[in-house]
Amino acid sequence: MSQPPPLIALCARVLTFSDEGKRDAYSSSQPYSRAVTRAGGVPVLVPPIHELASNALTVLQHFDGVLLPGGGDVDPRRYGQEPTDENLYGITEIHDELDIAVCLAAIELDLPMLALCRGMQVLNVALGGTLQQDIGTSDHWMREHSVTLTEGCRIAQACGTTELEHCHSVHHQGLDRLAEPLVACGWATDGQLEAVELPSASWIVGAQWHPEDTASRAPHQQAIYDELIRRAAARAASA
């Protein structure tokens, strides 16, 4: 019997308006799921509900990998600061609660995890790092740019190159103090930190850009998702 496709936990978001009417809904940006599916995985939304966040370790035992997606800003109080920047947006307590809980559970279970944009920031905050509440430039808002990766880092290995093009960024924040367990491994040409990894994990990486946005036309971007699914499938096969 062939191995079933790996299940990838994808943190969902609260949507206060839906096409079903005025009822509240949970949502996820479609490109995430498309990229996971192209790679051979099955994306499964984990809705931001307190009971799921408080039992994240049990919930994630049913999955083979994790995709920690983008979204609004992490509440600065989560990293010991007061909200001071006027550009802060989209702060939602239950999103922070779920994402941080899922992140820590994935680390404890050593699940392959791809943390993107806000997801990379959540990874840093969950492990004790801090964020820049605003990086002071719009150069990373709805822009494509290049990223230079450290030779031998996990994203470079997945992509087969240290020079990535078509990295689509949608962020006004960035990492400030890097959490001690993380290692920086990718930068934009302006010096903005764009990639990190957790060396103590089998495969946990963070990218500040959105590879799914250009993955359908940029094979190196899709390769990041391909590696997530490859790792998840290998873990499932060895379980």
For the stretch 6-65, pLDDT in tens is: 999 999 999 866 565 656 789 999 999 999 999 999 999 999 999 999 999 999 999 999
Q: What is the pLDDT of residues 121-131, one digit of tens each?
A: 999 999 999 99
Enclosing domain of residue 162: 7-238
Position 143 in a domain: yes
Does residue 97 lie within any of the structural domains?
Answer: yes
Tell me, yes or no, whether 214 lies in a domain. Answer: yes
- For residue 159, being part of any structural domain is answered with yes
pLDDT tens-digit series, residues 75-129:
999 999 999 999 999 999 999 999 999 999 999 999 999 999 999 999 999 999 9
Residue 34: inside a domain? yes
pTM value is 0.96
Q: Examine residue 1 and state whether it is found in any structural domain, yes or no.
A: no
pLDDT at 142 over 80: yes
CATH number, domain of 81, equals: 3.40.50.880
Residues labelled as active-site residues: 117, 210, 212
Helical residues (DSSP H) of 118-163, grouped into ranges: 118-126, 154-159
Kindly state whether residue 2 falls inside one of the protein's structural domains. no
Query: Per the domain annotation, does 177 fall within a domain?
Result: yes
Q: How many domains does the chain have?
A: 1
Judged on CB neighbours under 10 Å (0-12, 13-18, 19+), 20 is exposed
